[in-house]
Amino acid sequence: MLSIYPSNNTTLLLPDDFHLRYDVALVCLCLCTLFFIAVNIFAHRLGSNLIPQKIWNSLSSTKKIAFGNEVGSFVHSLIVSFACLDALLYPTGNWENDRIYGASDKAAWIFSFSSAYFIVDLMYMFTGGNLNLPMLSHHLAGIAVYLTCQSPFMQFYGVCGLLYELSTPFLTLRSMHQILGLPKDNLIYQSIEYSFVLTFFLCRFAFGLPISMLAIYEGGLLAFNGNLTSPISYAILTTANTGINCLNCWWMAKIVKMVGRNMLSKEDRLNLIPTVNNLPRGRDNPATSFY
């Protein structure tokens, strides 16, 4: 593997043992960016050839771009999830012994790969008119985190954070289903939706919140003892990490609301407001604006 951290010593724990090869890291980032642009182009070819022409031609250009984004997200999440599991199960470098300053070539490639995905996805969301504040915040925070981790700094926790992506394949399949206007009242869609809910909770809450707090605690402990040599990097990661977790909490609240709504049939919801059919309908009536 092309080494981003050339060093003859992989046993010492000092940050100076490894230094970032910015030229190699930049080449990795550029190659990964080209890869995701190619994936998006391929997604449009795939859609026009595999999806029934009646459905594909009925999509607006914005929805076609959104479909390409979802394919790119699906590819990224699958590759990066397996790569992170490989990096954690079969580590390289010295990060096993030092979770703060330990460096790993595998982790560095993963960070370049994910940073490139966030950059390309932002580009297509912007050009396709699909950009929104939560996703903009999420992607900018991701780019800040994974470029900072290249230093190297907290690479172990950066890889753990990317395991959040284990829930993304189900999210993208759900989104593609909705973009294509396919029926939702079937076992396939419901299985995808509830698989997403389960993996989102397990990856981003049951695993994600504790590992995030541990990262902040260990960095803060070094700072308190005067041993933190990268206070700016720690501030960037802490701010971005907190922001991403706040977004996850907000998204989880929306997911819980969605699940609760789906558990009630439309008839049951109407029974909660027995007089709704006797009221005037329209946007001015808040009691009927949800139906």
* pLDDT tens track for 205-243: 999 999 999 999 999 998 888 888 888 989 999 999 999
Query: What's the sign of the alpha-carbon dihedral 35, 37, 40, 45?
Result: negative
In this prediction, residue 88 has a pLDDT band, given cuts at 50, 70 and 90, of very high
Domain count, the chain: 1
Question: Do residues 244 and 141 touch, judged by C-beta distance below 8 A?
Answer: yes
Asked, for residue 76, whether it belongs to a domain, the answer is yes
Q: Provide the pLDDT confidence category of residue 290 given band limits of 50, 70 and 90.
A: very low
Q: Is residue 10 part of a domain?
A: no
Tens-digit pLDDT profile for residues 31-46: 899 999 999 999 988 8
pTM of the model: 0.81
Which tens digits make up the pLDDT trace of 133-192?
A: 888 889 999 999 988 888 888 999 999 999 999 999 999 999 999 999 988 888 899 899
pLDDT at position 226, please? 86
2 domain residue, yes or no:
no
CB atoms within 10 A of CB 24: 18
Q: Which residue type is seen at 12? A: L
Check residue 166 and report its DSSP letter.
G
- Structural domain boundaries, residue 99: 15-273
